[in-house]
Amino acid sequence: MALLSTFIAVADRPGRTARAAAAYVRRHLVPGPPRPAGAVPHKAGTVVVPPREASFVECRAAGLGPVTVAYERQGTGEPLVLLHGLGYHRQAWGAVGPLLAGSRDTIAMDLPGFGESPDLDPAVPRDLETAVAWLGAVFEELGVDRPHVVGHSLGGLIALRLGQAGLARSVTALAPAGFWTGAERRYAYAMLTAARQGVRLLPDEAMAWLARSPAGRAALTGTLYGRSLCPHETVVASLRALRDAAAFGSTLRAGREGVLFSGDIPDVPVTIAWGTWDRVLPPWQAYRVKAMIPDARLVPLPDCGHVPMNDAPELVARVILEATGLPEDAH
């Protein structure tokens, strides 16, 4: 319990406490095992789960410099684009994508500065209007016309803006960012920043060791996940993505500027799904989305936290397939 209490404290008071916790684990719990055969070297340790092979697309929207995006594509059917949240990567959809691929041409992307996508050139503005513009160019380069767009958190907000711009045939947003009060935004930023700070101060081997036990996973991800039942490899990969996200700070700064979403999305089916245990963006924010988009369908995700793709991938896939027009008995 002393160890668990130490790591819970990291989420509330990063910095000195996080360094002390990391040192404790390094000294007492992790003997520094040899690198497993076939593991991929990493500047901060050993990669437990090597990243999947990505394809890359470069696009250039009118008046903008080039933007390069890493992506994975699988399945057949109507095109469906998956956008991750702040500090994540395309593998956040790893358990959901195969459940969609039987009936959808599924494209999971790394947003610039996350996962394997290089960060935006300094000359490319980091705002939602610009994101909509370069994503439209990515769609064109990939040969997809008005795909279904599914997004989580930051990706959910971008998905809604793509719907407004007429670039999506349907929008499914999981806990979309931007529908907060000032106090709620500051709270969410503090939670995510503390989680990242703690992970950055934690050795790779300690992170992997903690992720193997339910108590350790709860200490590492309790603020983000609900059930925390996903494999420990997924936990480690997600935390490394959070740690290594080049665009984390600049994206937070961009999110402080003004109103991020206003108005309706006419003539586009919109589904808003929210984990009932979301501790980062509380589920009552869904009703603010509904007030702006009256025809949006609200779907609660029972027992799910802020990252429902890890908590309940089958449920999330079912919601997405229904939202994109596949009858329930065809799943």
Kindly write down the DSSP assignment for every residue of 218-267, as one continuous string: HHHHTTT-SS--S-HHHHHHHHHHHHH-TTHHHHHHHTTSS-S--S--TT
- Antiparallel, parallel or unpaired: β 78-83 and 270-275: unpaired
Domains recognised in the chain with CATH numbers: 1-11+43-326 (3.40.50.1820)
What is the average per-residue pLDDT within 166-173? Answer: 97
Instruction: Determine how many CB atoms are found less than 10 A away from the CB of residue 41.
Output: 8
Res 78 pLDDT > 90: yes
CA distance 105 to 103: 7
CA distance 169 to 146: 5
pLDDT tens for 16-25 read 434 444 444 4
95, 231 contact by CB (below 8 A) = no
* Residue whose structure tokens are 């106090």: 183
Res 26 pLDDT > 60: no
Res 238 pLDDT > 50: yes
CA distance 322 to 124: 36
pLDDT at 327: 52
Res 172 pLDDT > 60: yes
Percent of the chain topping pLDDT 90: 61
Instruction: Determine how many CB atoms are found less than 10 A away from the CB of residue 228.
Output: 21
pLDDT tens for 265-319 read 989 999 999 999 999 999 999 999 999 999 999 999 999 999 999 989 999 999 9
CA distance 283 to 275: 7
CA distance 37 to 155: 36
- Strand, coil or helix: what is 293? coil
Question: pTM of the prediction?
Answer: 0.83
Tokens of 207: 């992170």
Confidence band (pLDDT; 50, 70, 90) for 229? low
pLDDT tens for 192-209 read 999 899 889 888 888 888
Confidence band (pLDDT; 50, 70, 90) for 228? low
Element (H, E) at 3: helix 2-12
Percent of the chain topping pLDDT 70: 81
pLDDT at 49: 37
Res 260 pLDDT > 50: yes
